[in-house]
Amino acid sequence: MLPRGAFSCAAGACCRRRFSAKSHYDETVVYKYASQMINPVSIGQLLKYRRLPLSADNILDSVSYTQAELPVRLAKRVISFHRLPFIVGTNPHIAQVYSHYYEAFDRLYAFPPITDLDAEWEFTRTLEQQTQLLVDVIPEIAQGFLECKQYMPREERTAFISDLIRSRIGLRVIGEQHVALSFQFRDEQGACGQRLPPGEQRQHQQQQPGQQAPAVWAMDDVWVGAIHTKLLPAQMMTQCAQMVQNMCEMYYSTAPTYYVDGDVDETISYIPSHFEYITCELLKNAFRATVDFSARSGRSAHPPIQITITKGDGYVGVRIRDQGGGISKSNMRNVFEYSWSSMQAEDAAAELGSGGASAAGMSLQTNLALQQGVGGPIAGLGFGLPMARLYAEYFGGSLDIVSMEGYGCDVFLKLRSIEGSVEQKQI
Angle at the Cα of 184 from the Cα atoms of 215 and 135, rounded to 5 degrees: 135
Look at residues 129, 97, 94, 96 and name the one whose alpha carbon lies nearest to residue 16: 129
- Which part of the chain has CATH 1.20.140.20? 10-205
Amino acid in position 325: G
Q: pTM to 2 decimals?
A: 0.78
Q: For the chain, how many residues are written? A: 427
> Mean pLDDT, consecutive 10-residue segments, the chain of 427 residues?
37 35 62 92 78 84 94 94 92 93 92 94 92 82 87 91 91 90 85 47 38 39 83 94 91 93 93 91 92 93 97 92 93 81 47 37 39 41 83 92 95 88 64
At 353, which helix (H) or strand (E)?
A: helix 342-354
Number of Cβ within a 10 Å radius of residue 402: 14
Contacts of 14 (CB under 8 A, 6+ apart): none
Instruction: Give residue 3's pLDDT.
Output: 38
Instruction: Give residue 19's pLDDT.
Output: 34
Look at residues 380, 368, 260, 362 and name the one whose alpha carbon lies nearest to residue 321: 260
- Looking from the CA of 324 toward its CB, the CA atoms found within 13 Å total 28
Instruction: Give residue 28's pLDDT.
Output: 86
At 161, which helix (H) or strand (E)?
A: helix 154-192
Pick the CATH number of 227-422 from 3.30.2010.10, 1.10.10.10, 3.40.190.10, 3.30.565.10: 3.30.565.10
CATH 1.20.140.20 fits 10-205, yes or no: yes
Give the Cα separation of 254 and 265 in Å (integer): 30
Give the Cα separation of 173 and 131 in Å (integer): 10
- Which part of the chain has CATH 3.30.565.10? 227-422
Instruction: Give residue 275's pLDDT.
Output: 93
What is the DSSP-derived secondary structure letter of residue 363? Answer: -
Q: Is 424 helix (H, G, I), strand (E, B) or coil?
A: coil
Instruction: Give residue 138's pLDDT.
Output: 82
What is the DSSP-derived secondary structure letter of residue 122? Answer: H
Pairing of strands 398-404, 305-311: unpaired
Instruction: Give residue 191's pLDDT.
Output: 56
